Amino acid sequence: MSPDYPHPIIAREGWLYLGASLALAVVVAAAAGWVWSIPFGLLALFVLQFFRDPPRTAPEGAGLVLAPADGRIVAVEAARDPYADREALKISVFMNVFNVHSNRAPVDGHIERVAYFPGGFVNADLDKASEENERNALVIRRDDGVQVTCVQIAGLVARRILCYVAEGDRLERGQRFGFIRFGSRVDVYIPPSGTPRVAIGEKVHATTSVLAELP
């Protein structure tokens, strides 16, 4: 399965930042020489790598729950899903500033609920970030009735959660639905009957990595 990819390899969210950093490097080079422009050139390179957004192909398998983001697994635990009001298995992915920050749907289904909550900006690597930080939750119902919740969570330096879908929209596995700028976390809540396919500390990639399998 290869989901639609609506823009080039560099995320549209980064075009302004990339253009500004390149323009600044050129201005400094023209005014003071290329040596003085090196830090600004490095800044442009950082912006380029941060906003990269490569297309991904989802693996086959009806019961697979795919990673919604690139990063490192920081939680695999029984928890209460506060957005769907149910017991669940929570799997959390922490994204540092060097990861791809595009967010993609973990399962096929219709969005039953979109819920935004203002909050703080503690380190997204900490468990309390799931409850205290600014966040945006999507409750997705698969065609078989199973609910999967995907929560975008702002981090220590992240200050902008972007979500491009609404209640009633349909998502396909691997479909791009949002972006978080500059370090963050994504929590996924699945039914307790699901079997995790990742462990704490493991690195995953959005769409191509399998977080869990549902019966």
User: Could you please report the per-residue DSSP string of 82-96?
Assistant: TTTTEEEEEEEEEE-
In the predicted model, what is the mean pLDDT of residues 19-32?
86
pLDDT at 33 over 50: yes
Choose the catalytic residue: 37, 184, 193, 209. Answer: 184
Q: Is 8 exposed, middle or buried (0-12, 13-18, 19+ CB in 10 A)?
A: exposed
- The whole-number pLDDT of residue 108 equals 96
Give the separation between CA 102 and CA 94, rounded to whole angstroms. 13
In the predicted model, what is the mean pLDDT of residues 182-209?
93
Q: Is 209 a catalytic residue?
A: no
Give the separation between CA 37 and CA 25, rounded to whole angstroms. 5
pLDDT at 190 over 70: yes
In the predicted model, what is the mean pLDDT of residues 27-31?
86
- The whole-number pLDDT of residue 46 equals 83
Fold (CATH) for 64-213: Glucose Permease (Domain IIA) (2.70.70)
- The whole-number pLDDT of residue 209 equals 97
- Provide the 10 A C-beta neighbour count for residue 78: 9
**Tens digit of each residue's pLDDT (9 = 90 or more) over 117-172:** 886 655 555 566 566 678 999 999 999 999 999 999 986 655 678 899 999 999 99
What is the band of 207 on the pLDDT scale with cuts at 50, 70, 90? very high
- The whole-number pLDDT of residue 158 equals 52
- The whole-number pLDDT of residue 159 equals 61
- The whole-number pLDDT of residue 19 equals 87
Q: Which helix (H) or strand (E) holds 23?
A: helix 15-32
E-strand ranges in the chain read: 64-66, 71-81, 86-95, 102-104, 109-117, 135-141, 147-154, 161-163, 170-171, 176-180, 184-190, 195-196, 203-204, 210-213
Residues near 165 by beta carbon (within 8 Å), at least 6 away in sequence: 111, 114, 138, 171, 177, 178
Region label for 130, one of left (φ > 0), alpha (ψ between -120 and 50) or beta (otherwise):
alpha
- The whole-number pLDDT of residue 63 equals 92
Which tokens is 147 given?
């609910």
- The whole-number pLDDT of residue 94 equals 92
Task: Give a three-class secondary structure readout of 36-74.
Answer: HHHHHHHHHHHHHHHCECCCCCCCCCCCEEECCCCEEEE
- The whole-number pLDDT of residue 127 equals 63
What amino acid occupies position 23? Answer: A
Domain boundaries, the chain: 12-50, 64-213
What is the band of 3 on the pLDDT scale with cuts at 50, 70, 90? very low
What is the band of 2 on the pLDDT scale with cuts at 50, 70, 90? very low
**Tens digit of each residue's pLDDT (9 = 90 or more) over 52-107:** 888 888 998 889 999 999 999 999 999 999 999 999 999 999 998 888 888 999 99
Q: Which helix (H) or strand (E) holds 21?
A: helix 15-32
